[in-house]
Amino acid sequence: METHLGRREGDENLAPQSQSGKDETSSTTLDSIWIEKYRPETLDDVVGNDQVMRRLRIIAREGNMPHLMLAGPPGTGKTSSVLCLCKQLLGSRWRAYTLELNASDERTIDVIREKVKHFAKEKRDLPAGRHKIVILDEVDAMTEAAQQVTVLPQHHLFFLSMQIRRF
C-alpha cells in the first residue's frame, strides 16, 4: 500500500520525522534509501542494455573475467550491475573480496595507490579460481596522475564512468 512520498506500509523507519510528522531529511536522502533498498541482487534482476547484461552473465557463469570499463549516464545501472557480478562471482563474502572507491571523492594518486596497494596485500581466503575485485566508480573525476596508477595484475578492475574523453 502506497503512503506519503511513495513509501509503503512498513517503511516508517526509513526517514526520521519531526513531531509534526514531516520528514526531516531531504528527498535525496529518501531517494538514496529507496535506491539501496530496491537495488538488484543478481544480474537477472538488472533491466537494461541486453548486450552488456548478456556478456556480464557469461562472465559470471564462466568466471573468466577481464578488466572492464562501463560508461554511461548516471542512473543507468553501471554500479548495480558490477555489484551483482561481484556477488555472483565471489559468493556471500563478496564484500571482503571487493574494494569500491568513489574516484570523485578519492581522486588523488596517493589515495588510490595506497588504498589499492593495501587491499592487494591483504590475505584473503578467496573462492577457488577467483580474484579480488577493485571498483573505481566515477573514474572520469580522477586526476590525470591517478588515472596512470598501475595495479597488480592478479586483481580484476572495473572502471565506471559517466563520460569518456579522448586525449
**In whole numbers, what is the pLDDT of the chain averaged over residues?**
77
Structural domain contains residue 11: no
Closest CA to 160 of 132, 139, 143: 139
CA–CA dist 139, 102 (Å, integer): 8
Q: Is residue 18 part of a domain?
A: no
Percentage of residues in the chain having pLDDT higher than 90:
29
Question: Would 63 be classed as within a structural domain?
Answer: yes
pTM of the model as a whole: 0.71
Q: What is the CATH number of the domain that holds 156?
A: 3.40.50.300
Q: What pLDDT is attached to residue 51?
A: 94
* Cα-Cα end-to-end distance for the chain: 52
Nearest residue to 39 (alpha-carbon basis) of 86, 73, 71, 2: 86
- What is the pLDDT, as a whole number, of residue 55? 95
Over residues 132-155, the pLDDT tens digits come to: 998 988 888 877 777 776 555 556
- Please, which residues bridge with residue 70 across strands? 160
Domain assignment of residue 139, yes or no: yes
Segments forming the whole domain that contains residue 126: 43-161
Plot region of 77 (φ>0 → left; ψ -120 to 50 → alpha; else → beta): left
Q: Is 36 a domain residue?
A: no
Does residue 5 lie within any of the structural domains? no
CB 32 within 8 A of CB 79: no
How many domains does the chain fold into? Answer: 1
Q: What percent of the chain has pLDDT over 70?
A: 71
User: Is the residue at 21 inside a domain?
Assistant: no
